[in-house]
Amino acid sequence: MGFGQAQGERGIMGTHFSSLFFDSPPVPRSIRAIGEEKEFPPGSMLVENNAPIEGCYYIVEGLVFAVDFTRNGEKVLGLVIDRDALVGETSLLLDMPFPMGFQAQIKTRALFIPKADFLDLFHRDKELSQYVALLVARKMFAVKGFYSNLGKEPVVWRVCNIILEFSHRYGKDFEGGTLIAFPLSHQLIADFANANRVTVTKCMQSLTKKGLVRRINNVYGVPDVPRLEAYTKTQASSYRNTL
Amino acid sequence: MGFGQAQGERGIMGTHFSSLFFDSPPVPRSIRAIGEEKEFPPGSMLVENNAPIEGCYYIVEGLVFAVDFTRNGEKVLGLVIDRDALVGETSLLLDMPFPMGFQAQIKTRALFIPKADFLDLFHRDKELSQYVALLVARKMFAVKGFYSNLGKEPVVWRVCNIILEFSHRYGKDFEGGTLIAFPLSHQLIADFANANRVTVTKCMQSLTKKGLVRRINNVYGVPDVPRLEAYTKTQASSYRNTL
C-alpha cells in the first residue's frame, strides 16, 4: 500500500505542528536486528489498551491507529502511525499498561521486540535511549494537541483540523488545489473527531457548499488550503469567545 | 516549604495512576554539574508556553505548575511539579516551542541548563538520554490522562478526581481519615478542572454535605478515601452512559 510514503518535509515536526501525525526519528539498526517479524491483518490489535504487554513493535510497513475505548465501548481514534516507528515502548519503560491501544488498519508488518530484549538494549545502547527520548517527545507533543483539541474545540473546528492535517500529510497538487491521497470517510473523520457520523456528514456538506472542501471521484480535495486554514481559525473556541 | 516531601510510595508511577503528578527518575549528576542556579518568585514563569526557550530547568526545590493559556487569556493549570525534575527538555529535543508553560507557585529554586549544553550532554551521556526517555514517558502518561479527563469527564468527576489525586499525593492519616497537607482552594481546584469557581464551590458544598469531604481548620480532608473513589466512579461519563 502507498501509505507511509514521504510527502516531502511538510509533515515533519518542526515545520508543521500536528496533533494526528508524528514522525519517528531514524530507527536504530540495533532494533531491527533483534525484532521478529509478524504480520497483522486489518482490524487486529498490535497492543491492547490498558493491558500489560510482552514487548513493543517496530512498524515496518502498514497503517496503525492509536485507539482509545471508552468504558462503554465507544471507539475514539488518536494518533496515526503511517511511517516506521516504535509503538508500545512507553508501557515497557514505565512497566505499566498504557491507556492507548494500537490497531492495524491495513495489512501491517511489524517487528516484535520482547520486553527483556528491549529494556536490555535501552540500558546498553545510547543510540536507542536517544531515539526513544526523541520519539516519546514527539508523541507527547501530538497527544497533548490531540486531547486538548477534543476537549476545547467545537466539532466544526475538529473536522476542519482533521481535513487540514490529512491534506498536509497526504496532499498532492491537483488543479491548483490539494488532493488528499488517503481514503478518508465520514466515519473515519467522526472517529478521529470523537463526533457523531451524522454531524460530520452535515459539517462536510456545509464545507462543500462553502467551496472549502471538494469530493473528486472517490477522494477529498481542498481547493484552497490557506482559505480552509483561515476558516478553521474562525471556528476555534478562543476566536468565538473574543467576538 | 514542605511541598515535595515524599509521602511514601503512594504517588510513584506504577502504584497509583496520576494525571496531575508524575515522578521524575533520579536526575543524573551530570545535569547538576552544568546547571546555573536561579530563583523564581511566586507567579513568575520559568518557561513561557508557545515560546522558543534558551534552555531547560532542573527544579531543585519549590512548586511549579504547567499552565496553558487559551488565546483569550483563560488560564488552565496542568501538571504539578513538586519534586525534583526537568522542565522544558521536550522543547529543546524537538527544537520547537511546546504549548505548555511552567509557572512557579511558591519561591522556587532551579538550575538553568543552556540549550547547547543540554543537547551536547544528551548526545554524549547515556545516563541522561535514558533519564530523559523515562521522564518524558511519565509526563506523556500524565498529559494523556489530564487532557482526556478534561474532554471526557463531567465537572463533578474532575473535582473529585483532583481531590483524590491530592489526597494520594499529600494525604496524611488523621482521625481515621486522610488530611490533605496542601493549601487547596476552590480557585485552584477550578483552575485544574478548567471549571468555574462558583461551580466548584457548589460542588464542594455538595461533597461536604454527603460527608465525602471535610474542611478541618484550613485544609481539606477526605474521611473515607475508598468511599470518595467509589462515588467518583459513579460520576464518570462512561458510568452514566451505561445506566
Secondary structure E strands in chain B: 36-40, 45-47, 55-61, 64-69, 75-81, 85-87, 101-104, 108-114, 171-174, 177-180, 214-216, 219-222
Residues A131 and A65 placed together within one structural domain of the fold: yes
What is the spatial order of strands in the sheet that B171-174 belongs to?
B171-174, B177-180, B219-222, B214-216
In a domain? residue A59: yes
Say if residues A119 and A106 touch (Cβ distance below 8 Å).
Answer: no
pTM of the model: 0.89
In a domain? residue A85: yes
CA distance linking residue A132 with residue A186, whole number of Å? 34
pLDDT band at A17 (very low <50, low <70, confident <90, very high): low
pLDDT > 70: percent of chain A:
90
Please tell me the least confidently modeled range out of A93-107, B109-123, B140-154, B221-235: B140-154
Rounded mean pLDDT of B130-141? 95
- The answer to whether A145 contacts B99, with C-beta atoms less than 8 Å apart, is yes
Q: Which burial class, exposed, middle or buried, applies to B201 when counting CB atoms under 10 A from its CB (0-12, 13-18, 19+)?
A: middle
A73 and B CB contact within 8 Å: no
- The answer to whether B140 contacts A100, with C-beta atoms less than 8 Å apart, is no
Residues B79 and B113 placed together within one structural domain of the fold: yes
- The answer to whether A99 contacts B151, with C-beta atoms less than 8 Å apart, is no
In this predicted structure, what is the pLDDT of residue A243?
53
- The answer to whether B122 contacts A136, with C-beta atoms less than 8 Å apart, is no
B49: three-class secondary structure by DSSP: coil
CB nearest A139 (choices: B130, B140, B236): B140
In this predicted structure, what is the pLDDT of residue B22?
86
Of A126 and A49, the structure prediction assigns the larger pLDDT to: A126
- The answer to whether B140 contacts A143, with C-beta atoms less than 8 Å apart, is yes
Residues B122 and B180 placed together within one structural domain of the fold: no
- The answer to whether B94 contacts A70, with C-beta atoms less than 8 Å apart, is no
A151 and B CB contact within 8 Å: yes
Residues B116 and B214 placed together within one structural domain of the fold: no
pLDDT tens readout for residues B173-183: 998 899 999 99
- The answer to whether A123 contacts B130, with C-beta atoms less than 8 Å apart, is yes
Q: Which residues of A touch B143 (CB under 8 A)?
A: 140, 143-144, 147
CA distance linking residue B138 with residue B118, whole number of Å? 20
Q: Give the residue from chain A lying closest to B138, CA to CA.
A: A94
Task: Supply the CATH number for residue A139's domain.
Answer: 2.60.120.10
- The answer to whether B140 contacts A90, with C-beta atoms less than 8 Å apart, is yes
Domain end point (choices A115, A148, A181): A148
Q: Taking a contact as any Cβ pair under 8 Å apart, which residues of chain A between 224 and 243 contact chain B?
A: 236-239, 241-242
- The answer to whether A133 contacts B143, with C-beta atoms less than 8 Å apart, is no
Residues B87 and B45 placed together within one structural domain of the fold: yes
Instruction: Report the DSSP beta bridge partners of residue B109.
Output: B39, B61
pLDDT tens readout for residues B50-107: 888 999 999 999 999 999 876 566 788 989 999 889 999 999 999 988 888 999 999 9
Residues A123 and A202 placed together within one structural domain of the fold: no
Residues A113 and A129 placed together within one structural domain of the fold: yes
Domain end point (choices B94, B125, B148): B148
Residues A49 and A118 placed together within one structural domain of the fold: yes
- The answer to whether A94 contacts B14, with C-beta atoms less than 8 Å apart, is yes
pLDDT band at A227 (very low <50, low <70, confident <90, very high): very high
Residues A142 and A217 placed together within one structural domain of the fold: no
Number of domains in chain A: 2
CA distance linking residue A20 with residue A78, whole number of Å? 7
B151 and A CB contact within 8 Å: yes
CA distance linking residue A6 with residue A239, whole number of Å? 34
Q: Which residues of A touch B90 (CB under 8 A)?
A: 137, 140-141
In a domain? residue A4: no
Q: Give the residue from chain A lying closest to B243, CA to CA.
A: A72
pLDDT band at A1 (very low <50, low <70, confident <90, very high): very low
In a domain? residue B2: no
pLDDT band at A22 (very low <50, low <70, confident <90, very high): confident
In a domain? residue B165: yes
In a domain? residue B137: yes
| Closest approach of A171 to chain B, Cα-based (Å) | 24
Q: Which residues of A touch B93 (CB under 8 A)?
A: 133-134, 137
In a domain? residue B213: yes
| Closest approach of A219 to chain B, Cα-based (Å) | 31
CB nearest B136 (choices: A122, A123, A140): A140
Residues B60 and B123 placed together within one structural domain of the fold: yes
Domain end point (choices A114, A148, A182): A148
| Closest approach of B144 to chain A, Cα-based (Å) | 6
Q: Is the pLDDT of residue B1 over 70?
A: no
| Closest approach of A136 to chain B, Cα-based (Å) | 6
In this predicted structure, what is the pLDDT of residue A9?
34
pLDDT band at A3 (very low <50, low <70, confident <90, very high): very low
Interface test with B, best of A68, A96, A126 (most B CBs within 10 A): A126
At residue A225, φ and ψ (nearest 5 deg) are: -60, -50
Q: Which domain holds residue A91?
A: 29-148
In this predicted structure, what is the pLDDT of residue A13?
34
pLDDT band at A83 (very low <50, low <70, confident <90, very high): confident
Residues B199 and B109 placed together within one structural domain of the fold: no
Residues A144 and A208 placed together within one structural domain of the fold: no
In a domain? residue B19: no
Interface test with A, best of B127, B130, B150 (most A CBs within 10 A): B130
Rounded mean pLDDT of A83-110? 93
Task: Supply the CATH number for residue B184's domain.
Answer: 1.10.10.10
Q: Taking a contact as any Cβ pair under 8 Å apart, which residues of chain A between 80 and 139 contact chain B?
A: 89-90, 93-96, 98-100, 122-123, 126, 129-130, 132-134, 136-139
